[in-house]
A and B are shown apart, each in its own frame.
Chain A
């Protein structure tokens, strides 16, 4: 597809479980970002990859959250020991990685922890 693809679109999990959220960026985009959006609020930055490396992970809330991008394309956001407060829409975006370009967002994964 032409856009950023996120799977699954919805995920319901029990408190304490482990979840993985996947992001397929636009082909050729070197920059990839994860954001989290709680109900009624704007998206909040989590982590930014340039290629395979995490250039800025300052937004990850704690060590239960981890993200990888092993081959510089697909990225996985991993959440351990989920808590009800982790319930949110997780958004992924990608951009060409050059100066001052726009970011293209996926539709997001709605995570519900029960």
Chain B
């Protein structure tokens, strides 16, 4: 799987949008971008994933650049409960490879 690069940490204000960047410049055409987060002392939680189109669900939006070399996870109205480590993961599509290659992620702290 392609490697990803994320900032080590970022702060954001409660109630504001949080924009989390991720670079994946070596991504292949059959690789998806997945985002997971891990709140302290819990297991990772799936947020969203996409191939090339922008995606939105009840938790977040995923914006993927046209060349697919980078993406941004957007938490539209950050709350204190969104404080967590956020992982951007690139993974090959299909049944043959399900393992997730977590990096160090971005530690996001939402401040009141």
A interface residues with partner B (beta carbon < 8 Å): 4, 31, 33, 35, 41-45, 48, 56, 59, 91, 93, 95, 97-100, 102-108
Q: A100 and B99: CB pair below 8 A?
A: no
Q: B98 and A104: CB pair below 8 A?
A: no
Q: Which of A45, A56, A99, A107 contacts B42 (CB 8 A)?
A: A107
Q: B87 and A42: CB pair below 8 A?
A: yes
Question: B42 contacts which chain A residues (CB < 8 A)?
Answer: 107-108
Q: B43 and A108: CB pair below 8 A?
A: yes
Q: A45 and B94: CB pair below 8 A?
A: no
Question: A99 contacts which chain B residues (CB < 8 A)?
Answer: 93-95
Q: B102 and A43: CB pair below 8 A?
A: yes
Q: How many residues of B contact A (CB 8 A)?
A: 22
Q: How distant is the Cα of A43 from the Cα of B37 in the complex, in angstroms?
A: 11
Q: A104 and B46: CB pair below 8 A?
A: yes
Question: A105 contacts which chain B residues (CB < 8 A)?
Answer: 43-45
Q: B98 and A103: CB pair below 8 A?
A: yes
Q: Which of A33, A59, A108 contacts B98 (CB 8 A)?
A: A33
Q: How distant is the Cα of A91 from the Cα of B38 in the complex, in angstroms?
A: 12
Q: How distant is the Cα of A107 from the Cα of B42 in the complex, in angstroms?
A: 5
Given the contacts A31-B98, A33-B98, A102-B49, A43 and B93 also touching, CB distance less than 8 Å:
no
Question: A100 contacts which chain B residues (CB < 8 A)?
Answer: 32, 49, 93-94
